[in-house]
Amino acid sequence: MNTLRPLTLDVNHAEHTLCVAPDTPLLYILRNDLACNGPKYGCGLGQCGACTVLVDGLAARACVLPVKAVLGRAVTTLEGLGTPQRPDPVQQAFIDEQAAQCGYCLNGMIMTAKALLADNPAPSEDEIREALRFNLCRCGTHVEIVRAVQRAALLQRRNEAGAQP
């Protein structure tokens, strides 16, 4: 039964209680109820990556993930990574490399890169290409995107080294 009921979600480090149908795709809740418009609707079939979010730190496709699947888990969207004043290193690197053309795919590229770098702080170019192989970019900015992830890895490592006592 997919009737409305109150569910509490942890999104971007805050709890939100909403009255929703548990089988509703997470993407709809994020965009329509929580005003998180970083994740995009591309294919709606789990195939393009435009809707990617992090669930407990792992990249997940919010268009095919029922909201009930993230109960008790931490959801992070693009909005939860950084702010315009203090962007996350991955966001900063994409700006520095001017990796956007239309920008529609970038949410998925950035969130997938974030998950990759959490697991592998110094990926090779091949590892970056492998991690992003199911994220589609129709504008063909793949070269800039790979460079942005390489730069992000460097920035993140420098930040972490600087943060050490």
Q: Which is nearer to ligand FES, 82 or 103 (CB)?
A: 103
Place of tokens 């009255």: 19
Contacts of 157 (CB under 8 A, 6+ apart): 121, 122
Which residues inside 69-108 make contact with ligand FES, applying CB under 6 A? 100-105
Q: Which residues of 65-89 are buried (b: 16+ CB within 10 A; e: fewer)?
A: bebeebeeeebbbbbbbeeeeeebb
Q: For ligand FES, which stretch binds (CB under 6 A), given 28-36, 41-49, 70-78, 153-161?
A: 41-49
CB of 107 to ligand FES, least distance (A): 10
Report how far apart, in Å, the C-alpha atoms of 122 and of each of 25, 87, 96 are.
Answer: 33, 20, 19
The size of the interface with ligand FES (CB under 6 A), counted in residues, is 22
Which residues inside 119-138 make contact with ligand FES, applying CB under 6 A? 137-138
Say whether residue 61 binds ligand FES (CB under 6 A). yes
Binding residues for ligand FES (CB under 6 A): 41-44, 46-51, 61, 63, 100-105, 137-139, 141
